[in-house]
Amino acid sequence: MIKFNIRGENIEVTEALRDYVEDRISNLEKYFNDGHEMIAHVSLKTYKDKSAKVEVTIPAKQITLRAEDKSRDLYNSIDSVQEKLARQIRKYKTRINTKSEHTALADEFAELEAGEELTEAVSRLVRTKNVDLKPMTVDEATLQMDMLSHDFFFFIDGDTNQPAVIYKRSDGNVGLIEGR
């Protein structure tokens, strides 16, 4: 069962809008085994240029599902996010079915119905690269990422001595993922 945490930014979340979001996202319940209670965090935003952005995050036991869409029509964005999440679930389920080592994830998802397998090519590991991790500051790691023209950079944070990843965000800024 999916519970909802819906919030709006620059928009009032009316009962009709709440019902529409809950109806569309609840369609994803068929992909999960019964008894799994999840919370869907839904963010609805509108901008001055009349565009709307919908972000949905559903943290599950083994994975976190996340999708977003921005368009001129809020309802189309909700539909698009629901389709993206369904595609993600089918992709994960297809991977699980082809690899036996993901049995913990298999418990999370219900069986896909016949003909519902993902028709897109399933990603596979095609290259492994070993790197020497050196302690450095976030600023040094950002510089290294830029110099290598990569979208991310894996390093040991010199302040915490823990693994970390910096990455380029779609808004042009840099994000940091810290290990523990």
CATH number (domain holding residue 150): 3.30.505.50
- Shared domain for 21 and 88, answered yes or no, is yes
Q: Whole-model pTM above 0.85?
A: no
Quote the number of domains for the chain. 2
| DSSP, residue by residue, 7-55 | EEESS---HHHHHHHHHHHHGGGGGB-TT--EEEEEEEEE-TTS-EEEE
- Shared domain for 83 and 148, answered yes or no, is no
**Is residue 126, in this structure, part of any structural domain at all?**
no
| CATH number for 10 | 3.30.160.100
- Shared domain for 102 and 139, answered yes or no, is no
Question: Which pLDDT score, from 0 to 100, does residue 105 have?
Answer: 52
Range with lowest mean pLDDT among 41-45, 60-64, 68-72, 113-117: 113-117
Task: Give 34's strand partners.
Answer: none
Range with lowest mean pLDDT among 7-11, 106-110, 157-161, 174-178: 106-110
Q: Which domain holds residue 159?
A: 135-178
**Is residue 118, in this structure, part of any structural domain at all?**
no
**Is residue 112, in this structure, part of any structural domain at all?**
no
**Segment 70-116, tens digit of pLDDT:** 999 999 999 999 999 998 888 877 776 665 554 555 555 555 555 55
> What is the band of 11 on the pLDDT scale with cuts at 50, 70, 90?
very high
- Shared domain for 100 and 147, answered yes or no, is no
- Shared domain for 26 and 76, answered yes or no, is yes
CA quadruple 105, 88, 82, 31: dihedral positive or negative? negative
Question: Which pLDDT score, from 0 to 100, does residue 91 have?
Answer: 80
Cα 24 to Cα 19: distance, rounded to the nearest angstrom: 9
What is the overall mean pLDDT for the chain? 83
**Is residue 123, in this structure, part of any structural domain at all?**
no
Token digits of residue 48: 């001055």
- Shared domain for 30 and 91, answered yes or no, is yes
> What is the band of 8 on the pLDDT scale with cuts at 50, 70, 90?
very high
Are 175 and 166 in contact, with CB atoms under 8 Å apart?
Answer: yes
**Is residue 122, in this structure, part of any structural domain at all?**
no
- Shared domain for 15 and 80, answered yes or no, is yes
